[in-house]
Amino acid sequence: MLESLNRKTEDLTVDSKSKEEEEEVPAGQVVKKTFKKLCVLVVDDDRSCRSLYMGFIQMRGAFPYMAENGEEAVNLYRDGQTFNLILMDNEMPVMDGVSATKELRDLGVTSMIVGLTSHEDENSVYAIRQSIAKALVAFYQKYVDEQSKKEVKDILIRYDRTLLVADPRRCEPKKFGGRGARSRFQKSYR
């Protein structure tokens, strides 16, 4: 998969030199590449986020397009427009990012879709984790056998448990009782 992604991006970089012409870059020097043939769709309902993403994309030399919700993004594809990359907000009016991504995949879109969100509250973290879990479940339901599903599920559960840490801000009082009584920390995600 990584090789195919590299192949897709090789023909998009115009300013990069061929392998024969490549020079060694001294350590610490930043190499800037521009992507002049890259068409990027930014799907976000927040105007400030859209302009931030679009400014970054234009600075790199790519062609940015924008949509305010998932339905607009789907309609762009239905009208025949294609993109190399889609930056998709998770929570939008009319059609959210998860629904739009599912519909785009059903239409046969193979472009890379990157899920984004600009919320900082704890509920957004849980929403993002839930979206990732839904995508993984949908993929494994379709393409993976039962034994592999169980292995992946176990790995994800173990990983999820490593994210839980004792939070000293949420200390329960000592329980009344014998010598084994102790105060406990509630678990929360890092």
Mean pLDDT: which of 3-12, 45-54, 128-137 is highest? 45-54
Q: Is the dihedral of CA 129, 132, 136, 137 positive or negative?
A: positive
Nearest 5 degrees, angle CA 93-CA 96-CA 97? Answer: 140
How much of the chain, in percent, has pLDDT values that exceed 90?
Answer: 14
**Cβ-contact 96, 123 below 8 angstroms:** no
Work out the average pLDDT over 67-76: 92
**Cβ-contact 115, 131 below 8 angstroms:** yes
Give domain 31-118's CATH number out of 3.40.50.800, 3.30.40.10, 3.40.50.2300, 3.20.20.30.
Answer: 3.40.50.2300
pTM exceeds 0.85: no
4-31 pLDDT per residue, tens: 434 444 444 334 344 444 455 455 444 4
Task: Residue 103: name the closest of 136, 68, 72, 141 by CA.
Answer: 72
Q: Which residue has the higher pLDDT, 121 or 140?
A: 140
What's the CA gap between 112 and 87, in Å, rounded? 9
Domain ranges of the chain: 31-118, 125-165
For the record, the structure tokens of 41 come out as 């769709």
Cα–Cα distances (Å) from 181 to 172, 173, 175, 176, in that order, read 12, 10, 5, 6
75-101 pLDDT per residue, tens: 999 998 888 889 888 888 889 888 999
